Structure 1
């Protein structure tokens, strides 16, 4: 997920800081240092982004695997999040409220939210169909605000029958359709 950090930095340089980051991810990625004191890694990237855009401007969907300290940090710093087990109940109203006051939206999808061909799989996540349904349901709210989309963590070397690649392609096509 580390590619999201330089994308956010470049965006802010050009357009300013009125951005909301919506992520679909099985993890918070909010550790301060990981591993062994490393400030920038896949496990720290959202903390670094939050330091730039403000933690209240982040919304994490589908989180389910995290260190206790990460959840405490998320709550303390007013990060908006919906765990994967509560997603269907609260997601639409929470996302609509989040989007309302943002000028721009950055959408980042980590495929581990669906547990497909990734280096950090986590069981019992959202189905890819859930992610697509959520995006379709909020489309009208974000259509004029959606500025950047990234899809991260797919590893074709772990995709033995290529079915995950087909699924990732479907997610790409559907999210690209949000722009038209």
Structure 2
């Protein structure tokens, strides 16, 4: 295990059987010596960098606890995807107050993950959206590849870093200003409503960020929309990083997201989009961010939605790769 990763508090006693739960499918990497994984999961429990008051740092544990609620059989496609090899690598070590140090730890942990698992797909469970910047910095530094970003979000996350710091409102701006990614390689799907100020629209146009409204996405449909974006990215980048800010969902579907709003996506729309995304083998990494389990309903509406979204992308990857 990396010096920057720790064993999570939530672990499961895995049970083998004909009917397999997700908790029995995902393997704790610290219990296995050397292994090759199709997918590796890293918890990134940081929320001090959130503009909105948030306990998103608690989400990696809530995510793991939800694994007992899902099976490895996907009814919609009548497929059992248990043979996809998935490992839990644990959580990134965090400092109690120093956000910059936390981001440095994320970057260092991700470099170690890439070195140990160079051929895997990387799943990061946030944490707030600020985690995306250090994860992608590590990917760019370690691989030397040109990275495209597919962002599902209500917001552009292009706030001025000098004014707002390394917060969850600035990860895309950090990457653009740092020359890590190009604006033309960023596609943001799900923008809607009254939640992006004119200065942010100006910034997006300045950097050449591709803005796709929720209305446009609905008009195109999930299959066509993702096919169009992936075709464009496929002409430019070496691989794609998908970042899923759960505030892209309507507040009715995401009560556990501090910045969720009226007018957003339905959960089934997000699931359909991620199923399409999972078809492409040059999608090498994904994160899920900005979920506060303390704000969620007693039925864990948002927590379950994220786990469902993650599994939808995994089963698609299993079917199509």
The answer to whether TM tops 0.5 is yes
Q: Determine if the alignment matches structure 1 residue 76 to structure 2 residue 206.
A: yes
* Deviations, residues 13-66 of structure 1 (Å, cap 9, x unaligned): 1111311110101100101147xx233111111111223211111111101221
Please, which runs of 5 or more residues in structure 1 have no aligned partner?
none
Equivalent residue runs for 1:19-168 within 5 Å: 19-33=147-161, 37-51=163-177, 52-64=180-192, 65-90=195-220, 91-92=225-226, 94-101=228-235, 102-114=237-249, 115=251, 116=254, 117-140=256-279, 142=280, 144-161=281-298, 162-168=300-306
Aligned residues: 176
The DSSP-based 3-state class of the residue aligned with 1:3 is: helix
Q: What is the distance in 1 between the residues matched to 2:297 and 2:275?
A: 29
Q: Greater relative contact order: 1 or 2 (C-alpha under 8 angstroms, separation 6 or more)?
A: 1
RMSD over aligned CA atoms reads 1.7
The DSSP-based 3-state class of the residue aligned with 2:229 is: helix
Normalised to the residue count of structure 2, the TM-score between the two structures is 0.52
Q: What is the distance in 1 between the residues matched to 2:199 and 2:228?
A: 23
Larger radius of gyration: 2
Shift of 1:93: 5.2
The DSSP-based 3-state class of the residue aligned with 2:166 is: coil
More helix by share: 1
The DSSP-based 3-state class of the residue aligned with 2:130 is: coil
Shift of 1:138: 4.2
Say if 1:156 and 1:169 are closer, same or farther in 2 by CA, change over 3 A: same
Normalised to the residue count of structure 1, the TM-score between the two structures is 0.89
